[in-house]
């Protein structure tokens, strides 16, 4: 499903400029409940008189938003850059500040990533449940490496989730820019460690992510990561950070074939160990630029996942500790997989992560910090049908 800007023109026109309906405002807290008071460093930056208080207070309406660039698309929706429209500055008795106020009101710099889903298409493809699951999970999250849900916009035709915009793009695109399209050891350690902490939190919240891949690991403005895309996630009734295996007897979930765990391919019950499998595939791809079980087609890829032994290329040279960690994560039998019994703790103590200060990850210098965001950088006016690889 790929609603392009021209396809959405009429509806987004009314959605962005004439609608007066008000969005449901959500801010995740440590308890998972909504909060309309207090400040948060995760709130988007304010501009002029339009402060983040407007968002938290519940007064944000569709008329306050302008949709501009399509950042990317997925199975159940497309992601757009959404801006808060400029607001006139409040009256100020200090004449000396008049020019500053005029400048502040000239342009909005409060931007979001807006995941827009077509309700009719969701219904025709029986995908409403996935959209609802993503919303419910986003409402629970309160973690520096996971998205903050700022608003849910429910219009007659469109369902929209407003989250943080990450100007650094995703790790798939960033890997393509590396020499030989591979990350150095230090970068893999940095990104993998932040993913481990994010997965640990999700499992503690009773959430099995099930969709880890470089395309779903975004780079924030400070260079740290944010996992995205939770429509394939499994929400459980209890923490999955213990040996408990969550039974899910549904058919194999859709997703990237190369990242599916053997128990998902086989249609077995599965739980949090599938995320540790995908961590192994993720690290392998960051190191080598390819995934370990990819075949000439989807069927052979799935067969390789279930039956083929893990092999490492001779080049490039990858540390022995990294290979050992990947090997323990890519054990096909879930109970024997690293992390299946002791959770993230076992992975954190692996020699590959020696020297990582887990308590101060956010203070670690990232391997890459994106330049200041500019719409001109991501906009491709000459080819509007080409997705911009930001999400």
Q: Which two tokens stand for residue 305?
A: 């996942």
What residues pair up with 82 in beta bridges, in sequence order?
A: 67, 112
Per-residue pLDDT tens for 184-240?
999 999 999 999 999 999 999 999 999 999 999 999 999 999 999 998 999 886 655
pLDDT averaged over the chain? 78
33 pLDDT higher than 70? no
- Which superfamily is assigned to 171-363 in CATH? Transferase(Phosphotransferase) domain 1 (1.10.510.10)
Looking at residue 373, what is its pLDDT? 79
| E strand or H helix that includes residue 119 | helix 119-124
Q: Which two tokens stand for residue 325?
A: 């960690």
Looking at residue 238, what is its pLDDT? 63
Looking at residue 61, what is its pLDDT? 63
Per-residue pLDDT tens for 161-181?
999 999 999 999 999 999 999
Looking at residue 222, what is its pLDDT? 96
* pTM beyond 0.85: no
Q: Are 48 and 86 in contact (CB under 8 A)?
A: yes
Catalytic entry in 142, 211, 229, 248: 211
What's the mean pLDDT in 91-106? 49
Calpha distance 371→167 (Å, rounded): 8
Q: Are 131 and 186 in contact (CB under 8 A)?
A: no
What's the mean pLDDT in 336-354? 97
Calpha distance 228→217 (Å, rounded): 6
262 pLDDT higher than 50? yes
User: Is 275 in the active site?
Assistant: no
390 pLDDT higher than 70? no
What residues pair up with 110 in beta bridges, in sequence order?
A: none
Quickly name the fold that domain 9-165+373-378 has. Answer: Phosphorylase Kinase; domain 1 (3.30.200)
Per-residue pLDDT tens for 41-81?
333 433 333 334 444 445 566 677 888 888 888 888 889 89
110 pLDDT higher than 70? yes
Q: Which two tokens stand for residue 13?
A: 């026109």
Per-residue pLDDT tens for 112-171?
999 999 999 999 898 888 889 999 999 999 999 999 999 998 888 888 899 999 999 999
In the chain, domain spans: 9-165+373-378, 171-363
Contacts of 342 (CB under 8 A, 6+ apart): none
Looking at residue 256, what is its pLDDT? 84
- pLDDT, greater one: 246 or 314: 314
């Amino acid at each position: 499903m790929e609603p392009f800007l021209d396809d959405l023109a009429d509806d987004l026109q009314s959605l962005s400029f004439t609608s007066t309906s008000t969005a449901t405002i959500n801010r995740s807290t440590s308890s998972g409940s909504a909060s309309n008071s207090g400040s948060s460093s995760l709130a988007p930056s304010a501009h002029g008189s339009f402060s983040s208080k407007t968002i938290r207070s519940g007064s944000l309406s569709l008329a306050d938003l302008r949709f501009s660039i399509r950042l990317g698309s997925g199975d159940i929706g497309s992601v757009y850059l959404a801006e808060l429209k400029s607001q006139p500055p409040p009256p100020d008795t200090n004449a000396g500040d008049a020019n500053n106020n005029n400048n502040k009101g000239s342009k909005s710099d409060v931007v979001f990533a807006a995941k827009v889903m077509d309700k009719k298409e969701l219904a025709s493809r029986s995908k409403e449940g996935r959209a609802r699951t993503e919303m419910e999970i986003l409402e629970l999250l309160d973690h520096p490496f996971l998205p903050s849900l700022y608003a849910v916009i429910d219009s007659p035709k469109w369902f929209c989730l407003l989250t943080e915009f990450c100007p650094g793009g995703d790790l798939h695109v960033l890997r393509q820019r590396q020499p030989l399209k591979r990350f150095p050891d230090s970068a893999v350690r940095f990104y993998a460690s932040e993913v481990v902490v994010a997965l640990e939190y999700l499992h503690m919240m009773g959430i099995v992510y099930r969709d880890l891949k470089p395309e779903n690991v975004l780079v924030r403005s400070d260079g740290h990561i944010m996992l995205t895309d939770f429509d394939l996630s499994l929400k459980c009734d209890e923490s999955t950070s213990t040996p408990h295996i969550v039974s899910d007897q549904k058919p194999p979930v859709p997703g990237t074939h190369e990242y599916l765990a053997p128990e998902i391919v086989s249609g077995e019950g599965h739980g949090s160990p599938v995320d540790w499998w995908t961590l192994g595939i993720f690290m392998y791809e960051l190191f080598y630029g390819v995934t370990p079980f990819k075949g000439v087609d989807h069927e052979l890829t799935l067969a390789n996942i279930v039956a083929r032994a893990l092999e490492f290329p001779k080049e490039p040279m990858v540390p022995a500790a990294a290979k050992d960690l990947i090997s323990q994560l890519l054990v096909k039998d879930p109970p024997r997989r690293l992390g299946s019994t002791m959770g993230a703790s076992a992975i954190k103590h692996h020699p590959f992560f020696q020297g990582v200060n887990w308590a101060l990850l956010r203070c670690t210098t990232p391997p890459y910090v994106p330049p200041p965001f500019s719409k001109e950088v991501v906009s491709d006016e000459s080819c509007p049908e080409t997705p911009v690889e930001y999400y």
